[in-house]
Structure 1
Amino acid sequence: MARRNKEVEALLQEYADLVLITGGDAFKARAYEKAARAIGGHHADVAGLDAEGLREIPNVGKSIADKVVEYLRTGQMAAVEDVRDRIPAGVRELMAIPTLGPKKAVALYEELHISSLTELVAALDEGRLRDMKGFGPKTEDNIRHGIALMRAAGDRVPLNAAMELAEDIVADLSAVTGCERCAYAGSLRRMRETIGDIDILVAADDSAPFMEAFTRLPHTAEIVVGGAKKTSVRTAEGLQVDLRVVPPDSWGAGLQYFTGSRAHNIRTRELAVHNRLKLSEYGLFDTETGEKVVSKSEEEVYARLGLPWIPPTLREDRGEVRAGARGELPHLVGEKDIRGDLHTHTDLTDGLSPLEDMVRTAAELGYTYYAVTDHAPDLYMQRMTDEKALAQRERVRALDREYHGMRLLHGTELNIGPDGGVDWPEGFLEGFDICVASVHSHFNQSPEAQTRRLVKACEHPRVNVIGHPTTRIIGKRPPLDLDLDAVFAACARTGTALEVNSHPDRLDLSDENILRAKRHGVKFAIDSDAHSVTHLAYMRYGVGTAQRGWLTKDDVINTWPLTRLRAFLRKA
């Protein structure tokens, strides 16, 4: 079963927002925000903890622990229900719009009686927001952006949420008697950044036991379609999951077909027709005789079409079929190629886990090097100081002597200011092994200013990696408006890597931008940006995104041996 930490985190965060907009204590709201983040990033499933166990999580006191136990036992949290009742449902709907925020949602309701998305769009079109205090033209633009983001996201879910659910279902169905093969397919297997529905494929002679077991799984809230070959259910979270059962000798063709993408399948079917064959989910058939040629494995299907096996992450009709026919498919970077993580945080700044826990977990992952990169002082809310950074460096050096199989690097995540400057002077930065630099504010600068800002950061002699380069948060914050090609060219010229941030909410750079940057000759770092020990496992999503961008080991600096990495970090 998927951990329940995320749903508890969302509920506590909602409570914090509701406390603020009802005029409650700001310190209380902040306490619930901290507890929400701590529970979301906790390594163990909170469903298995009692109140005492919950209180051992940082920032979770007795009152919050009791509320969490109440929710896990009853499915409700009375404090949240009480404050929800005091806020019109329409305001809660407006609060869901990225870039709007709870306070502005309340203002819209109280001053203009807006309580739905439809009413908000009409008010924007009529220009009725412009007379409100704090609502200027820029605010209108931001709200329109937020509405567009929400509509684009629709019912899609983050990659990690879909992955956790799919892996649970695959494990459950694989245990059913008669199962010969079971896997997830579709956009999830292609590692798309968001998932609209989940496709599960089973190879078995008799479909009935699987259809029955599928509808009885604890995730199932509603049966949408039931049948012998396909059953669709909807989870309590509203996500549709489709199960298809195919004969074992059709497994390869079925997996290829249901993995997609549609455009890739059209291309492979055209290739089949050219070879007087017909390709379907049941196999590759001779057009004239109707005889099945191959179907048991994807490798056989592709080989009969004159192609090597094409990794699912490339199947988007971006030239992969042509490259395969020419023997030019890249050997994609894989999870096993990652030697270390170069962007992580501890509880010294905004992380949730102590340094020692983060290092121990990294060692358990088999890394050969690992960088700690807590925030620098310009993000004032993190309260970083020179003294804290130097004290942490001593702790990192001491731990480095304990972990003989893994070298520890002491780094920092610098804040790229509005003018492109960074937190510490160059002399102080010389003491760090690696410097990641990222934009954390001033998102609404002009495209020209944003471009100058990023290019200047690339040109800094101590900046090694540009973290989450476009700053996007999927479905919540749009990417920076700037000349990306100018930034890519600056990275290639200065020897500055671009990050592929593995956090499922970011996946920044996106696969399309990775492809563009690669053409400029840029090098990349695939990092977790972990703020807790559980986040270190997000690396798989960054690798999947890098694969979709056609990256190889040589493109990614944290697949390199430490000696080669250190040479790159010197920006010689």
Structure 2
Amino acid sequence: MAATGNKDIAAVLQEYADLLAITGGDAFKARAYERAARAVGGHPAELAGLGAKALTDIPGVGKSIAGKVAEYLRTGTVTEIDELRERIPAGVRELTRVPALGPRKALLLHDELGISSVDELAEAIEGQRLRGLKGFGPKTEEKLLHGIGLLKASGERAPLDTATELAERITAALAGVEGCERCAYAGSLRRMRETVGDIDVLAAAQDSGPLMEAFVALPVTAEVIARGTTKTSIRTTDGIQVDLRVVAPDSWGAAMQYFTGSREHNIRTREIARRRGLKLSEYSLSRVKSGRRVAAEREEDVYEHLGLPWIPPVLREDRGEIEAARDGELPELVTEGDLRGDLHTHTDLTDGLGTLEEMARAAADRGFTYYAVTDHAPDLRMQRMTKAKILAQREQVRALDGTLGKRRGGLRLLHGTELNIDPDGEVDWPADFLAGFDLCVASVHSHFDLPRAAMTRRLVKAAGNPHVHVIGHPTARMLGKRGGIDADWDEVFEACAHSRTALEINAQPHRLDLPDELILRARRHGVLFSIDSDAHSVPDLAQLRYGVGTARRGWVTKAEVINTWTLTRLRAFLRRG
């Protein structure tokens, strides 16, 4: 059996929870397996090396679940899951992948109408065949069609974290092949797009043979799509296509520029080259008349001979970067190293997996100056938050403050909360209680389908609350599962700029919210940002890199991000209410 990682085990436990829900099994048991799946996926150590006692020490993993994990690690399968699979009609599980379609309704569609695929569901909606079923009116049909669109769009593209981790494993393996002088990924992944189609890997070598041999022999290779001397394509075990191109070392810079894209950016650079009597290709920048190479080995030289400074890949979308580069106005983009802290995180007091001390210690290990704990407030009722619980946590925060980490003065801890913005724009807890928190993040967690005007009023009112410092994951989107809420964003941005309320750039790969196109608009209003992990486990803290990438795509600078500021300046901002 192939090596099994925590994500594989988490997927099996989540599947068991889904199967229980579809078959009408114990709802509490299904939720227990969902929680265990999250705990396993976020566990810092590989489960394959743990004994039975260590497995049950993981929060949410009891003796029965640990037994299934052990069975899966030993045999590659779980008997109870296999039995449940056999009980479910073909196609029903595919239907449950559609956002807004739960397992019970999926089973009803199969039993009553014989629908067993997403395409059949779309056809049935178009033919109005669902309208005779209880619970399937025109509004439900509209939501299902929207969900089908999201599913199909996401099914063709990989999430940013999945693509990045895969590309990094592949490039690391190929970099060790004899004769490989350079290896890196390019394409939309290098530009940090929120989802990625194919992964483009570029390598420099005099002889491509050993690299192609190593590439097709990688453990992640499930299928060789095409094989040649300069380009080979595989499909991985996750279904992602990866293209490897091998170029001569002295063409590296031109190839990186070409294969990074975007298409629109490359059209502009080729136009500039043509006006200068040059030709730009994946091999070189050369003179049209003589064919003499002008630049090829370094990407910086290619841009320099086009009369431009090097343009960061994240900006190469033909959204004004050519003009800014020409005029010397490219921004100095924020970097992950600029972040002094994280202002939106969770612990096991609500839906997180790590304890307060575990999360804070991991933050200290990352070299942060400060770190905010922002567990959910009571209006998210499944978290069962109370004033007594949050005040007890505050005492723990104060006791740990300054005691962790090697930095002088220790990691400074901020006690915060993530509030819920209700449909009227109100938040949990009265003003006098909110005044006791160091930091309040306020987010939309429900009523995602309010009309545009009502949604706009909702966000504007929350932004105007003097105790709200940050609007969390502002569009509330879930990539591939739920589109963003509909609001007049320019009005929201203007309100945030006026009240000095920061907008979050949430780094969770399934959120990346605000999206880069809205970040660009928000910047024009003078909005401030907070790049946060929204971590629910220790490994989640590392996902800040994706939030930084999204911020950079939105042209964000260090000065515009409140968690790049010194603690003194940040505290002054937080006291503004």
Task: Work out whether the TM-score is over 0.5.
Answer: yes
CA contact (8 A) 2:303 2:310 kept: yes
Aligned to 2:493: 488
Identity %: 67
Aligned to 1:526: 531
Aligned to 1:535: 540
Aligned to 1:312: 313
Aligned to 1:242: 243
Deviation at 1:111, TM superposition (A): 1.8
Secondary structure of 1:402's counterpart equals: coil
Secondary structure of 1:39's counterpart equals: helix
**Which whole-Å CA distance do the structure 1 matches of 2:310 and 2:37 have between them?**
44
Deviation at 1:179, TM superposition (A): 1.6
Secondary structure of 2:156's counterpart equals: coil
Aligned to 2:476: 471
One of 438, 447, 451 as aligned partner of 1:446:
451
**Which whole-Å CA distance do the structure 1 matches of 2:537 and 2:188 have between them?**
28
**Which whole-Å CA distance do the structure 2 matches of 1:540 and 1:66 have between them?**
35
**Superposed counterparts of 1:269-280, under 5 Å:** 269-280=270-281
**Which whole-Å CA distance do the structure 2 matches of 1:408 and 1:165 have between them?**
34
1:376 and 2:381 aligned: no
1:548 and 2:549 aligned: no
CA contact (8 A) 1:368 1:405 kept: yes
CA contact (8 A) 2:425 2:461 kept: yes
Secondary structure of 1:401's counterpart equals: coil
Deviation at 1:130, TM superposition (A): 2.1
CA contact (8 A) 1:2 1:165 kept: no
One of 403, 425, 431 as aligned partner of 2:430:
425
CA contact (8 A) 1:2 1:168 kept: no
Aligned to 1:137: 138
**Which whole-Å CA distance do the structure 2 matches of 1:532 and 1:120 have between them?**
37
The aligned amino acid for 1:414 is L
**Which whole-Å CA distance do the structure 2 matches of 1:454 and 1:545 have between them?**
22
The aligned amino acid for 1:399 is L
CA contact (8 A) 1:459 1:494 kept: yes
**Which range moved further: 539-548 or 247-256?**
247-256
Aligned to 1:158: 159
The aligned amino acid for 1:125 is E
Aligned to 1:354: 355
Any stretches of 5+ residues in structure 1 without a counterpart?
none
CA contact (8 A) 1:18 1:83 kept: yes
Aligned to 2:179: 178
The aligned amino acid for 1:257 is Y
CA contact (8 A) 2:21 2:27 kept: yes
Distance 1:269 1:48, change over 3 A: farther
Deviation per residue, 1:81-120 (Å, 9 max, x gap)? 2111111121111111111121110111122221122221
CA contact (8 A) 2:402 2:410 kept: no
**Which range moved further: 258-267 or 135-144?**
135-144
Deviation at 1:139, TM superposition (A): 1.3
CA contact (8 A) 2:181 2:204 kept: yes
Deviation at 1:3, TM superposition (A): 7.5
CA contact (8 A) 2:315 2:552 kept: yes
Deviation at 1:406, TM superposition (A): 2.0
Aligned to 1:364: 365
**Which whole-Å CA distance do the structure 2 matches of 1:283 and 1:74 have between them?**
52
1:88 and 2:89 aligned: yes
**Which whole-Å CA distance do the structure 2 matches of 1:433 and 1:26 have between them?**
38
**Superposed counterparts of 1:63-82, under 5 Å:** 63-82=64-83
Deviation at 1:149, TM superposition (A): 0.4
**Which whole-Å CA distance do the structure 1 matches of 2:73 and 2:240 have between them?**
21
CA contact (8 A) 2:403 2:411 kept: no
**Which whole-Å CA distance do the structure 2 matches of 1:119 and 1:280 have between them?**
45
Deviation at 1:174, TM superposition (A): 1.0
**Which whole-Å CA distance do the structure 2 matches of 1:56 and 1:291 have between them?**
66
Aligned to 2:19: 18
Aligned to 2:514: 509
The aligned amino acid for 1:64 is I
Deviation at 1:565, TM superposition (A): 1.3
Aligned to 1:394: 395
**Which whole-Å CA distance do the structure 2 matches of 1:384 and 1:117 have between them?**
39
Aligned Cα root-mean-square deviation (Å): 1.4
TM-score for both structures, normalised by structure 1: 0.98
**Which range moved further: 365-374 or 98-107?**
98-107
**Which whole-Å CA distance do the structure 2 matches of 1:55 and 1:252 have between them?**
51
